[in-house]
């Protein structure tokens, strides 16, 4: 064979800057960040109106918290991608992530996540207060070290306790406004805490084979469908009941929305359980999508309630 007949390897064309930027943006899981920020602003509205006795937080403070919160969440998600690259490659739902496709060097993603985390803490400390900054660091550390490294691959309770990191935006927003923590912030924290298992277990029911292939012991992988649906119903009831604890800090606006939206969620959760128990074809993604809507509606109600400023139902419990 002549040398001329041997094709020389063709170098891959350099990636465009916009494609590189898109890959780094994908590391941050922007859709999840949007959801986290949706609950932050209402918590700030409630803190200013009901706890501080003001009207609404300044636009600058809201922007500062959203920017810092977005950077903190992006940091946690990027570091999660670094640590989970091996199992992401085994799951159909995640195998197109940047590290799996070698679009971003792993060390670059690690540095990117760490820099974002440090920048978010400094930003929040300088623009709000250091309590909010410390809580953001705690949220990143909990998500990466406790959930991703310790719980995710070891226990079916991974999302129950690991999901606490996703509850932190409400307390960060509250702390940014008040410089402290109080019981309404903990109630909002608890709503998201109880919301997280039904949300993710519904998703895991749909992608059970993915999690099983990756060796991740999500509850639907290690328990029967009936056991999963029973726990979804239990956490759904806990979530709705816990949401009513916020009534003393809100007016009838939030009360009506909490009862109606909560009842809607419970009906769908019970229908899923009934279908599973009867051995019928189930649509867990219906509950998954509803859970996103429920959380958004509930926290929008908190924001509207605070903005309108009607008298709270039990004002004696407020400062």
Cα–Cα distance, 172 to 162 (Å, whole number):
17
What pLDDT score does 33 carry? Answer: 75
Average pLDDT of the segment spanning 66-83: 94
146, 168 contact by CB (below 8 A): no
Query: Could you tell me the pLDDT band of residue 314, with boundaries at 50, 70 and 90?
Result: confident
Average pLDDT of the segment spanning 301-315: 89
Cα–Cα distance, 208 to 290 (Å, whole number):
19
Average pLDDT of the segment spanning 173-185: 96
115, 99 contact by CB (below 8 A): no
Cα–Cα distance, 5 to 86 (Å, whole number):
39
Residue 253: which residues within 8 A CB-CB, separation 6 or more?
301, 304, 305, 308, 310
206, 284 contact by CB (below 8 A): yes
DSSP state of 315: G
CA contacts within 13 A on the Cβ side of 7: 3
Which tens digit of pLDDT belongs to each residue from 95-140? 889 999 889 999 999 999 999 999 999 999 999 999 999 999 999 9
Is the pLDDT assigned to residue 3 strictly greater than 70?
no
4 vs 154: which has the higher pLDDT: 154
Which tens digit of pLDDT belongs to each residue from 184-227? 999 999 999 999 999 999 999 999 999 999 999 999 999 999 99
Measured from the Cβ of residue 34, the count of other Cβ atoms closer than 10 Å reads: 12
Query: Could you tell me the pLDDT band of residue 316, with boundaries at 50, 70 and 90?
Result: low
Average pLDDT of the segment spanning 304-317: 84
> Domain-by-domain residue ranges, the chain?
22-317
Cα–Cα distance, 40 to 166 (Å, whole number):
11
pTM of the model: 0.92
Which tens digit of pLDDT belongs to each residue from 248-295? 999 999 999 999 999 999 999 999 999 999 999 889 999 999 999 999
Is the pLDDT assigned to residue 52 strictly greater than 60?
yes
Query: Could you tell me the pLDDT band of residue 302, with boundaries at 50, 70 and 90?
Result: very high
Tell me the C-alpha to C-alpha distance, in Å, between residue 64 and each of 41, 70, 127, 173: 11, 10, 6, 10
- As to burial, measured by CB atoms within 10 angstroms (0-12 exposed, 13-18 middle, 19+ buried), residue 104 is buried
Residue with tokens 């590391």: 27
295, 262 contact by CB (below 8 A): no
Query: Could you tell me the pLDDT band of residue 36, with boundaries at 50, 70 and 90?
Result: confident
Fold of 22-317: Farnesyl Diphosphate Synthase (1.10.600)
Cα–Cα distance, 30 to 38 (Å, whole number):
12
- Alpha-carbon torsion angle 44, 201, 70, 14, nearest 10: -170
């Amino acid at each position: 064979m002549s040398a001329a007949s041997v094709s020389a390897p063709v170098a891959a064309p350099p990636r465009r800057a916009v494609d590189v930027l898109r890959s780094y943006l994908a590391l941050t899981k922007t859709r999840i960040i949007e959801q986290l920020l949706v609950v932050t602003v209402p918590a700030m509205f409630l803190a200013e109106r009901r706890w501080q006795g003001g009207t609404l937080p300044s636009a600058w403070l809201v922007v500062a918290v959203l920017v810092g919160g977005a950077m903190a969440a992006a940091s946690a998600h990027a570091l999660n991608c670094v640590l989970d690259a091996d199992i992401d490659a085994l799951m159909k739902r995640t195998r197109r992530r940047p590290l799996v496709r070698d679009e971003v060097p792993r060390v670059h993603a690690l540095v990117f996540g760490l820099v974002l985390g440090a920048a978010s803490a400094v930003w929040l400390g300088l623009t709000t207060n250091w309590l909010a900054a410390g809580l953001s660091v705690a949220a990143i550390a909990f998500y990466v070290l406790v959930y991703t490294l310790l719980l995710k691959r070891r226990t079916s309770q991974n999302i129950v306790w690991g999901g606490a990191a996703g509850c932190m935006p409400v307390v960060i927003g509250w702390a940014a406004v008040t410089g402290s923590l109080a019981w309404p912030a903990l109630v909002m924290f608890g709503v998201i805490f109880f919301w997280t298992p039904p949300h993710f277990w519904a998703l895991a029911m749909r992608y059970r084979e993915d999690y099983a292939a990756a060796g991740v012991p999500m509850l639907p992988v290690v328990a029967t469908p009936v056991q999963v649906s029973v726990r979804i119903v239990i956490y759904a009831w806990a979530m709705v009941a816990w949401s009513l604890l916020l009534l003393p800090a809100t007016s009838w606006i939030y009360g009506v929305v909490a009862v109606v939206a909560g009842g809607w969620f419970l009906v769908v959760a019970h229908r899923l359980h009934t279908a599973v128990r009867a051995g019928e074809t189930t649509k867990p993604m219906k509950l998954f999508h509803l859970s996103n809507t429920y959380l958004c509606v509930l926290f929008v109600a908190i924001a509207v309630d605070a903005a309108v400023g009607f008298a709270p139902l039990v004002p004696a419990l407020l400062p």
